[in-house]
Structure 1
């Protein structure tokens, strides 16, 4: 789709793309996280499986929260997180999150952002979030969380959003 491609962060910032996907037949949810620099180089990535008992919005929130924490623990800050779940992003920016599982994770995200004001969370259409979506789908096949950092392993599914490949 023309005009809808991954956009790099400013120099000195890190972009964290997150996504969640479901497989109702297998009863699983997968999360995907891709962390890139301003040149589009993949610095870290993750695929994570979850039990299906989670609401889809909760899985999207967990992907965002885990993306923030993964970036912090990896020393890849300040960061901009992008999610293709507009309702979840809107909840993060509201003054009154709901009092439920959804609201609890939103409060955790807001607290993280309050402690790290240089970090941002925003919406990105699926067409700009393809690598994270592919890793979320890969998470459906896993039994445990997988994390990749500074390794030679770079899959074509992660490189799909790299500038110059679009």
Structure 2
């Protein structure tokens, strides 16, 4: 999975590339990425949290709540509990191209032997896209 955490001004603060060593459906993998990103933002004190996703079906499941008895419902329950505990947190839809940095980090994660996180810096594979959004 690929994660990008930005501050309230949109400046990149933390990026991460992490392999999931399990066989999840793409939808469950997306929700697990939500959860890991939320936990990382909480750990870094970056609150409130706005989760941006291009997975419209997953966003709708999180917003509506999903039956806990379903496979994906267990993870969505954890996501909802975290977001509901932080005032002002929400999940919003963004086009895939607006989430290009996270998508590029996801591709990078596939070749990693261990998880990688960068704080207030980022790997070269996403530098161009970040600088295009927020030139120095």
TM range (shorter): 0.7 to 0.9
Map of 1:160 onto structure 2: 129
Measure how far apart 1:99 and its partner are: 2.1
Which string of whole-angstrom CA distances, capped at 9 and with x for unpartnered residues, describes residues 64-104 of structure 1? 11111111101111121101111110000114435222110
Instruction: Report the TM-score when normalising by structure 1.
Output: 0.72
Instruction: Report the TM-score when normalising by structure 2.
Output: 0.87
Root-mean-square deviation (Å):
2.0
**1 or 2, which has the higher helix percentage?**
2
- Mind listing any 5+ residue stretches in structure 1 that lack a counterpart? 1-30
Residue 65 to residue 40, structure 1, CA distance change in 2 (3 Å): same
Map of 2:42 onto structure 1: 72
Map of 2:6 onto structure 1: 36
The whole-number CA distance in structure 2 between the counterparts of 1:73 and 1:143 is: 23
Measure how far apart 1:39 and its partner are: 3.9
Residues matched between the structures, number: 134
**1 or 2, which has the higher strand percentage?**
1
The whole-number CA distance in structure 1 between the counterparts of 2:127 and 2:82 is: 26
